[in-house]
Structure 1
Amino acid sequence: MTNTSDTRPAGDEAQAARPSRLHRLMRYIPLVAPVLLWAVPCWVLLYSGQHWPLPVTLVGTALFVLGLIGMPLAMMRGHGRRQQDWAAIIGDTLLGSSWVLFTWSVLLGVLLRLALTVAGVGDGQDRARIVTWTVLGVAVVLLAWGYAEARRVPRVRELDVRLPRLGAGLDGTRVALITDTHYGPLDRARWSARVCEVVNTLEADLVCHTGDIADGTADRRRAQAAPLATVQATRARVYVTGNHEYYSEAQGWVDLMDELGWEPLRNRHLLLERGGDTLVVAGVDDVTAESSGLAGHRAHLAGALDGSDPDLPVLLLAHQPKFVDRAADAGIDLQLSGHTHGGQIWPFHHLVRIDQPAVAGLSHHGTRTLLYTSRGTGFWGPPFRIFAPSEITLLVLRSPQQPTAP
């Protein structure tokens, strides 16, 4: 899937006010969203004309109320100060399940009911019950499939990327990208090892991890991250921080990746030379780094490029796609990012687009800059991926002086 997005225009006063209103509105989302996620499907499945027997209505309502109360409590125990993995698993699973039920209750509650009415199928109660059983069936199928999609080793997505300033000697340079592994409450040490095995089959010159390694500290998730030490690259293995590192003692993750043989590109660069030509490989801390209060952590593109030849092409690692505005201003040739998960559970990608300029794929920004946004290698929170498959990406860099491989 390839998404093309326009660069964001310079904001006038009205555009500047819009994010401010959005941020004010988002303060209320943690209070309103859980109620909507459980109340809407409860109404559509139980109270919109089905006339279920009283015991069915009472039991069904009790289950929805239990979900409404249990989900935030479990998430607070799982992701709050206590960091209890069992609670995080329950809370995350309930969050994903409620999102799927909400989405399909809204869609089928309107569209299917309308279609049945137009087709003259049954009376109001019959149509309401058909909607209920259809929503439940679709939700169960999607959640089972989404769980399998989230837990499987991602497929490799390969694409050629032509960079106008890339020298002929660098044509065919192979860049493997993994990101958003999110090692967390569900132990995925074996999954991690298998991902690394797949990466090693790609025979990459450069392997990149663009952040969000885990949810939890390096000490806590070390066993799941340890297989990253086995990743092979002919030139370099490089890493930049994501926003989730700054929830979990980011410096510990930087130190662990260094210990595992990866080179943290914290506002610095290295040179990749091949065939007499040179590529600048730069990296920046995540854009949330400075607000974390961690000394020395911030996204500093000028520092990352300091001392590099401005005539050389630049490959930049930045966790969030929205950093591309700064990258385009600086004339970066290619930015690699993650963060979005492609939305992870459809149709959440529409909400992601409020905050990010691209959700997945290759997009063009400014006069020269290309952005590749990975859908991520793992998953965050809810153990589901629905219509947003994970990926291991192989980008083959192409020079304009060489023909593109078929």
Structure 2
Amino acid sequence: MFVLLLAVVLGAAHYYLWKRVVRDTTLPGRARRIGTVVLVVLYVLMMAALSVTRLGTSFDAVIGWPGYLWLAGAYYLVLLLAVLEVPRLLLVRAARRQQPVPVTVGAEVSGGAPEAVAAPVPEAPGVDPGRRLFIARSLAVAGGVAAAGVVGYGATQALGDPRINRVPIALGKLDPRLSGYRIAVVSDIHLGPLLGRSHTERLVRMINEQQVDLVAIVGDMVDGTVERLGEAAAPLRDLTSTHGSFFVTGNHEYYSGAQPWLTELERLGVNPLRNERLAIERAGAAFDLAGVNDVNGESFDDAPDYARALDGRDTSRPVVLLAHQPVQAREAAKHGVDLQLSGHTHGGQMFPFHLLVGLQQPVRSGLETVDGTQVYTSNGAGFWGPPVRVGAPPEIAVVELRHNFAG
């Protein structure tokens, strides 16, 4: 049903594009037929990228790159043309006002009395077809150039190096001896048909350069099975930190086969936290690190269990929770979590999609407080779908725990 609904919505968007980019800019004939065929082919290619690439075929990348790029292009082209509807209507109205109006002239009738008559005018006054065509073509070109520019910029953001964001976070319960403890937070790596081993190698290199105390991978690492992507994930074995690397599931792990991936990550030296916690100690002081499964695990008999992960601990010391989705903070807050590290939102990935994230998640990006629990939500280090990021650059966050901001 989801795929069917998506096909209908995207089909309606492509019909709108056909009206504005093909029908309005061409005369009946060969050019219009070619434009129609091209748009249909792009629609089919896009739908294939959304569906076929999940099957693990050898054509994933061949179909995925053009299909997903066109998805981003169509998205922005529809938005831009919709914005241009206002100037289009104004231009058409202005052109209509400039059309000739009937001219009254005198004509003599029987008896010598003049009678007013109108000079001949076209039977269907309106915008001159040539002028209407010029307006449509000008706006289509403007929208196309702008959309191509936005997508091109977004592709450089998505495919470039993630930013290193240094985030100081004060925890009132933190022992001063732990002040300055640094956690590298990386989420939403999304290894798959468009991102492979070189992407993982880059992330590992960048994380290792930070010389952190702990690495937290907070879900959505893969879009595919271990058989397909095990080699792409292999560089994770080279992560280095004082207290090791830890992982919690995201929704995409369940779509890709969570249990085989958990086994593979253990083999690579990345420790899954499955509704559990452990003490992290330094210089005689400690805080608790806990992890809960993603909420989508409930559909796979692997639901998050906050009580198991958080109850019965020493509440005099802080607890840092790894949980894929920011919305999980509402339940975590009931268990006294001091800080939750999350991902999932991609920061919205493509503006203005940002506006929709708030309908589902309490935090789109960055550090906020939810029901008394601090939540840091990473933009993620990869992308899902289009290899495009606009207004939400990829990141690796280096969270520095502090007893207070001066410490």
Q: TM-score range by the shorter chain?
A: 0.7 to 0.9
Aligned to 2:41: 66
Q: Work out the CA distance in 2 between the residues paired with 1:374 and 1:149.
A: 15
Tell me which of 129, 136, 142 is aligned to 2:137: 129
Aligned to 2:81: 105
- What amino acid does structure 2 have at the position aligned with 1:403? A
Q: Please provide the CA RMSD for this pair.
A: 2.5
Structure showing greater relative contact order (alpha-carbon pairs closer than 8 Å, 6 or more residues apart): 1
Residue 30 of structure 1: how far off its partner (Å): 1.9
CA contact (8 A) 2:292 2:306 kept: yes
Deviates more, 1:248-257 or 1:93-102: 93-102
Q: Name the count of aligned residue pairs.
A: 373
Tell me which of 17, 22, 27 is aligned to 1:41: 17
Aligned to 1:392: 396
Q: Work out the CA distance in 2 between the residues paired with 1:281 and 1:224.
A: 27
1:163-202 Cα deviation digits (max 9, x unpaired) = 2222211111111111111110125212211211111111
Aligned to 2:109: none
- What amino acid does structure 2 have at the position aligned with 1:227? P
Residue 272 of structure 1: how far off its partner (Å): 1.2
Aligned to 1:152: 160
Correspondence list, 1:7-406, <5 A: 29-48=5-24, 50-52=25-27, 54-80=29-55, 84-85=59-60, 86-107=62-83, 109-113=84-88, 124-293=132-301, 297-366=302-371, 368-400=372-404, 403=406
Q: The residue matched to 1:153 in structure 2 has which SS?
A: coil
Alpha carbons of structure 1 residues 394 and 74: separation in structure 2 relative to 1, 3 Å: closer
TM-score normalised by length of structure 2: 0.84
Q: Work out the CA distance in 2 between the residues paired with 1:292 and 1:101.
A: 38
Aligned to 1:18: none
Q: The residue matched to 2:358 in structure 1 has which SS?
A: helix
Deviates more, 1:139-148 or 1:319-328: 139-148
Q: Work out the CA distance in 1 between the residues paired with 2:225 and 2:282.
A: 37
- What amino acid does structure 2 have at the position aligned with 1:34? L
Q: The residue matched to 2:359 in structure 1 has which SS?
A: helix
- What amino acid does structure 2 have at the position aligned with 1:364? T
Q: Work out the CA distance in 2 between the residues paired with 1:269 and 1:118.
A: 67
Q: Work out the CA distance in 2 between the residues paired with 1:362 and 1:36.
A: 38
- What amino acid does structure 2 have at the position aligned with 1:134? A
Q: The residue matched to 1:176 in structure 2 has which SS?
A: strand
Aligned to 1:4: none
Alpha carbons of structure 1 residues 191 and 78: separation in structure 2 relative to 1, 3 Å: closer
1:127-162 Cα deviation digits (max 9, x unpaired) = 332211111101212222222221112010112111
Task: List runs of 5+ in structure 2 lacking aligned partners.
Answer: 99-130
CA contact (8 A) 1:79 1:88 kept: no
Task: List runs of 5+ in structure 1 lacking aligned partners.
Answer: 1-23
* Percent identical: 36
TM-score normalised by length of structure 1: 0.85
User: Radius of gyration: which is bigger?
Assistant: 2
